[in-house]
Amino acid sequence: MSLALLIEQLLNGLQLGVMLFLIAAGLTLIFGVMGLINLAHGSLYMVGAFACASVAAATGSFWIGLVASLAASAAAGALMEITVIRRLYARDHLDQVLATFALILVFSEGTRWLFGSFPLYLDIPPALQGAVALPGGGQYPLYRLAIIGVGVLVAAGLYLLIGRTRLGMRIRAGETDREMIAALGVDIRALYTLVFALGAALAGLAGALVGALQSVQVGMGEPALILAFVVIVIGGIGSIKGALVGAVLVGLVDTMGRFLLPKLLALTLPATQAGPVGAALASMLIYILMALILAFRPSGLFSARS
Amino acid sequence: MRKILAAGAAALVLMAGAAQAEPVKIGVITTLSGGGAGLGIDMRDAFELAVRQSGNGEIELVVEDDAQKPELAVQIAEKMIQSDKVDLMTGIIWSNLAMAVIPNAVAQDIIYLSPNAGPSALAGANCHPNYFNVAYQNDNFHEAMGEYDNKDYKKTFILAPNYPAGKDALTGFKRYYKGDLAGEVYTQVGQTDYAAEIAEIRASGADSVYFFLPGGMGIAFMKQYAQSGVDIPVTGPGFSFSQDVLPAIGDAALGVKNSGTWAKDLDNAANKAFVEAFSKEYGRLPSIYAAQSWDTANLILSALGKASVKDKDAFRAALKEADFASVRGKFKFNRNNHPIQDIYVTEVVKEGDVLTNRIIDTAFTDHGDAYADQCAM
């Protein structure tokens, strides 16, 4: 195993982590502020990918598609909040899960009705095509480096937004005591819609960025959503910092597990078995990690509500 | 005596009439939602079109979506057998779902015809008179590509998802491939990010990559591979480059060689009629899943013309004759009810703006499978 390979795999883990952070940040923000479990968050991710793919196909520009994905997913999020989610804040989590699960079905079938069941084509913009040289003699796709960059920018932006702005102050106040902030004259309904749209836009951004790497198809959101839930459970529900740490942890553990476990097992098992067994174990690894963290820190690494 | 004879003759007349147009219920369990939906929809559309074209108004289809989940497929199968009382079943795309449904269904004396999955576990000692595979045994396409890759490559990196068809795939490839393996990796079913595997390919020193990743998995892999800066040539089975995924992969697939039993340019009358009818009806080119499903429907129709579906023995014998015009040209059943057929090598080409496959070589003629000898039928 060369150093170049190790560096490349670490970057892969980091990139997967950053991707998960974009999805998990919105999810955890919405849970932190509104106390709402939104299963349909993965649908917003899908909306972003489809908006980007269809607008990019129509205009020929990935960048216009990216802007469209932000607009479309934020709009879909705001619409979702105003029409359905708003009625759920006072209900218990089971009602929220049922209603947002129904939204998944509505979004999936709606998208299938609009775009069909076959995957859409979305390519990486020409400026980000190709690979760059890494120290140690390796190469790494420029686009994945750009995703890591976007993730770092979003993390910094969210940190400033929540820590340094008036809006952030209201979000934090909303997390702590929603009755009091409403009594102080803040329009809590508008604040909730705004936070929901912000979370949705982040999910849509992730969908558009990932769509260029993977396939843009109905149902793409749910596997991502499951990982995002693992991330926020590990990081501590409601904590942006927890989402960042949890996402990078999950990204690294998953990637390095897939890479190293079959090799470790090959030392003891015959080669024909080491591959499948290693792959099976690697796919369980992040859930084992989640179980361990739940056992020792039940509220996650950085719980906002401990 | 005359009365008895007359009654007998009347009964015979009735039976003959029944053989032509008795009600037949076919249960179709396939994947219509989620990442694998493209395959199932092609399967369903081709099947429905073939039944419609036959003009046989007595066939009733019960179509259900398995969402690519084995547990759901099992529930649907039970419902179809117990409450819908279907006569035949078909439709399953994925081998892990096939393994969950088929052994149980055929044990309840339901005839199952597979339009796609052909797990090795059901082809050998566990073959069953009620189980007909109209598509292939899972290893077949990969055996063909293993054989063909001997020409160009000496050190191949092989990759497949960790489920029955993935293991059959790499087993089949290795059965005929004589070169060395630079690596053998199993990925998760439904995996969408292949950065870690591509990094290993880059570091492996391979002279080629062979991958079996059907549906969205293959789209993701090819797009990421094209961006990775790795320029090792890839080959694969037709599933990785079939008509349902080519538009989404884009030009990255151009020129890639892959194996299959069918391509749209295969020169026979049945195939020309099929491609034309399917394209006209649905406004897109058919994939191999559509072709196999079309054959499955036509096999059933041919058997319905010969025997009553209620007379299982006669109906099984009629199926086994395989007396239908296959879009794949030659087609007959092996002793284990799996096909004996030709397997071709195709290349991804562009016709105008449309990516599609063109046959460039024949890998095997009248190819059976490695498990038929273990079948006691």
Contacts 24+ apart (CB under 8 A), B12-19: B15/B308, B18/B308, B19/B304, B19/B305, B19/B306, B19/B307, B19/B308
Rg (CA), chain A: 20
Q: Which of A195, A12, A154 is nearest to A4 (CA)?
A: A12
The chain B residue lying nearest A10, using CA atoms, is: B196
Which backbone phi and psi does A302 adopt, to 5 degrees? -130, 70
- Reading the block at residue B251, the tokens are 């030009």
Name the closest residue on chain B to residue A224, using Cα atoms.
B192
The pLDDT score that the predictor gives to residue B5 is 56
Look at domain B2-136+266-333 and name its CATH class: alpha beta
Q: For chain A, positions 133-172, list CB contacts with chain B under 8 A.
A: 138-144
> Which phi and psi angles does B65 have, rounded to 5°?
-90, 125
List pLDDT tens digits, range A131-147: 888 877 778 899 999 99
Residue of A nearest to B216 (CA): A215
Q: Coil, helix or strand for B329?
A: strand
- Which of A 183-222 lie inside 8 A of B, CB atoms? 210, 212-220, 222
Question: How far is CA A306 from each of CA A93, A176, A237, A238, rounded to the nearest angstrom?
Answer: 18, 12, 10, 10
Residue in this structure with the two tokens 């109905």, named with its chain if needed: A218
Who among A258, A278, A283 is closest to B196 (CB)? A258
Strands B59-65 and B339-351 come out as unpaired
Which of A19, A113, A121, A215 is the best substitution to test chain B (most B C-beta atoms within 10 A)?
A215
In chain B, which residues have pLDDT < 70?
1-21
Q: How far apart are CA B197 and CA B200, in angstroms?
A: 5
Closest by Cβ to A5, choosing from B35, B203, B219: B203
Chain A residues with CB inside 8 Å of B37's CB?
112, 117, 217-219
How many CB atoms are closer than 10 A to CB B268?
14
* Domains B2-136+266-333 and B140-260+343-374 equal at CATH topology level: yes
The angle subtended at Cα B173 by Cα B170 and Cα B174, nearest 5°, is: 85
d(Cα B259, Cα B234) in Å, to the nearest integer? 12
A181 CB-side CA count, 13 A: 22
DSSP state of B364: E
Instruction: Please give the pLDDT value at position B2.
Output: 55
pLDDT of residue A31: 87
Selected from 3.90.79.10, 1.10.20.60, 3.30.1330.10, 3.40.50.2300, the CATH number assigned to the domain covering B140-260+343-374 reads: 3.40.50.2300
Can you tell me the ipTM of this complex? 0.80
- Please choose, from the candidates A7, A13, A286, the residue with its C-alpha nearest in 3D space to the C-alpha of residue A148: A13
**A-chain residues near B196 (CB < 8 A):** 9, 12, 255, 258-259
Amino acid letter, B154? K
pLDDT (0 to 100) of residue B101? 96
**B192-213 pLDDT tens trace:** 889 889 989 998 999 999 999 9
Other CB atoms within a 10 A radius of the CB of residue A183 amount to 10
Q: Note whether A254 and A16 are within 8 A (CB).
A: yes
Nearest to B129 by CA among B339, B351, B317: B317
B168: tokens are: 């059959």
* Whole-number Å distance between alpha carbons of A241 and A33: 15
Please choose, from the candidates B166, B159, B89, the residue with its C-alpha nearest in 3D space to the C-alpha of residue B120. Answer: B166
pTM for this structure?
Answer: 0.83
B-contacting residues of A 219-248, CB under 8 Å?
219-220, 222-223
Q: E strands of chain A, at which residues?
A: 131-133, 139-141
What are the tokens at A175?
């997390």
Q: Nearest 5°: phi and psi at A136?
A: 95, 0
Q: What angle do the packed helices A240-266 and A221-235 form, to 10 degrees?
A: 110
| Tokens linked to A303 | 């719980």
Q: Are strands B332-333 and B339-351 parallel, antiparallel or unpaired?
A: antiparallel
- How many interchain CB pairs under 8 A, A with B? 134
- Contact criterion met (CB below 8 Å) for A287 and A231: no
**How close, in Å, is residue A210 to chain B by CA atoms?**
9
Residue A85 at interface with chain B, using a CB cutoff of 8 Å: no
Amino acid at A88: L
Report whether A31 contacts A300 (CB < 8 A).
no
- Taking the C-alpha atoms of residue A62 and residue A49, their distance in angstroms, rounded to an integer, is 11
- Three-state SS at B258: strand
Q: Residues of A with CB below 8 A from B32's CB?
A: 117
Taking CA–CA distances from B251, the nearest residue in chain A reads: A123
Compute the distance between CA of residue A80 and CA of residue A192 in angstroms, rounded to an integer: 12
Domain locations in chain B as residue ranges: 2-136+266-333, 140-260+343-374
CA–CA separation, B192 and B266 (whole Å): 32
**Distance from the A131 Cα atom to the nearest Cα atom in chain B, whole angstroms:** 5
- CB A232 within 8 Å of CB A113: no
- The answer to whether A204 touches A72, Cβ cutoff 8 Å, is yes
What are the respective helix, strand and coil percentages of chain B, to the nearest 5? 45, 20, 35
**Strand-pair category, B257-260 with B339-351:** antiparallel
Say whether B223 and A214 touch across the interface (CB within 8 A). yes
Is B202 in Cβ contact with A5 (below 8 Å)? yes
Q: What is the DSSP string of B292-307?
A: HHHHHHHHHHHHHTTS
Of B330, B350, B353, the residue nearest B341 (C-alpha): B330
pLDDT of residue A118: 79
Nearest-CA distance from B361 to chain A in Å?
29
* Residue A213 contacts residue B219 (beta carbons within 8 Å): no
3-state class (DSSP) for residue B269: helix
Per-residue pLDDT of chain A (306 residues; tens, 9 = 90+): 678 888 889 999 999 999 999 999 999 988 888 888 899 999 999 999 999 999 999 999 999 999 999 999 999 999 999 999 999 988 888 999 999 999 999 999 899 889 887 788 888 898 998 888 887 777 889 999 999 999 999 999 999 998 899 988 888 888 788 788 888 888 888 889 999 999 999 999 999 999 998 888 888 888 889 999 999 999 988 888 999 999 999 999 999 998 888 888 888 888 777 777 888 888 899 999 999 999 999 888 887 654
Nearest to B204 by CA among B181, B173, B238: B181
What string of DSSP letters covers B92-109? ---HHHHHHHHHHHHHTT
In terms of Cα–Cα distance, which of A195, A158, A166, A196 is closest to A81? A196
* Pairing state between β B354-367 and B339-351: antiparallel
Chain A interface includes B244 (CB < 8 A): yes
Residue B215: per-residue pLDDT: 84
Find tokens 């002793």 and name the residue.
Answer: B335
Q: Do B203 and A1 touch (CB under 8 A)?
A: yes
If you search the block for the tokens 């003629």, which residue do you land on?
B365
Nearest to B91 by CA among B83, B82, B105: B105
